[in-house]
Amino acid sequence: MAAQDPPARGGFDLTRWLNRLIARPDIQSLAARLPFSRGLARRDGAEIFEIVQGFVRSQVLGALVELRVLPWLMERDAYPAELAQGAGIAPERMEILLQAGAAMGLMKRRGDGRFRLSRKGAALIGVPGLEAMIRHHHVFYQDMADPVALLRGEGETGLAQFWPYVFGAKGDIPPEDALRYSDLMAQSQELVAQDTLRMIPLRGVSRLMDVGGGSGVFVSHVARRYPRIALSVFDLPEVIPDARRRLGSAGLDGRVICCAGSFRDGPLQTGADAISLIRVLYDHDDATVGDLLAKVHAALPPGGRLIISEPMSGGARPDPICDVYFAFYTMAMGTGRTRSAARIAELCEAAGFEAVRVAKAPRPFVTSALSCSKPL
């Protein structure tokens, strides 16, 4: 069933009139010829095609990552035939893949037919966790193969099963899988921690508790930057052993207290004058988020601070990445939701917080952040 035709509306609306004109093929072909409109028409056309081919681009990227083409080109320039041999792919097809990679700006085609890694290709290799993220996209993109079924909430999604740990599943996940999820989360936390601490300085904080702190990557960053802040991580009992292991190998076991528990099951420990929720809220529905914020409020002293960091919707100004990728990612996870800073602020205020300050995010696709405080 498609969406129903809208009922006819009376009255003149200039934008609607223009849109009807632009949607006519004869007007489009005229616009493509006239000097004052052809630049715009071409740009719009190319941008529409970018949207149309998005899935193909990400699959090409998937092949480049799977075949480890970028690390190879980091070592030396190569002819398609050299790369084809080890990959079990015919040289002419490898050339098609490399040509596409060059068209996407990840490598350059040299005059002699060899390919060389570009600046963007080199940067991609260096982004912590990005290759692992790209590899796990086959699960997400399988869910996106029938986007209407996803929107209708029909059937179980792959992502809901991929991240059961996130939702507090107990006992039924092999430890090696749990470690793989924690690893993916920990690697991708590196940039999140950098940007969060750049946006929200922790001046004046004496004890920070990172709730849903995973493997402790965020508190490790805080520990390095703020040697005086006392730290603790609170997460599910299945996650805390990995946090202990990682913090131990970073030499931080004496510095960070690890607390196992569930924020669904009881109150949060008191004692911290600041609590952070990094990429926690967007995994959950409004009811769970409301409960959690109320518990955070109860655990903080008057004047205590709450710091929230995660990719956020642009709200009134839709964000080209967060309102597409993260909005559908969290939808495919099942209970999740990509909220705008305004909506998160509303939920914080409903839980009793005030003085919400939304920071300007340098890279909204990495994270956005806000802080607020419990009234004195």
Ligand X SMILES: C[S@@+](CC[C@H](N)C(=O)[O-])C[C@H]1O[C@@H](n2cnc3c(N)ncnc32)[C@H](O)[C@@H]1O
Ligand Y SMILES: CC(C)=CCC/C(C)=C/CC/C(C)=C/C=C/C(C)=C/C=C/C=C(C)/C=C/C=C(C)/C=C/C=C(C)/C=C/CC(C)(C)O
Contacts to ligand Y by CB under 6 A: 119, 123, 127, 130, 133, 163, 166, 188, 279, 283, 329, 333, 365-366
| Shortest distance (Å) from residue 261 CB to ligand X | 7
Nearer to ligand Y, 105 or 147 (CB): 105
- Say whether residue 278 binds ligand X (CB under 6 A): yes
Q: Binding ligand X by CB under 6 A: which of 53, 206, 262, 270?
A: 262
Nearer to ligand Y, 163 or 353 (CB): 163
Mark the segment that binds ligand X (CB under 6 A) among 33-41, 134-142, 150-158, 164-172.
164-172
Nearer to ligand Y, 29 or 161 (CB): 161
- Report what 123 binds from ligand Y, ligand X, none; CB cut-off 5-8 Å by kind: ligand Y
Q: Binding ligand X by CB under 6 A: which of 106, 159, 178, 192?
A: 192
Residues in the chain: 376
| Shortest distance (Å) from residue 337 CB to ligand Y | 11
| Shortest distance (Å) from residue 4 CB to ligand Y | 33
139 vs 155: CA distance, rounded Å? 14
124 touches 106 (CB < 8 A): yes
- Say whether residue 212 binds ligand X (CB under 6 A): yes
Crossing angle of helices 14-22 and 25-33, in 10° steps, is 80
**Contacts to ligand X by CB under 6 A:** 165-166, 168, 185, 189, 192, 212-214, 218, 235-236, 239, 262-264, 278-280, 283
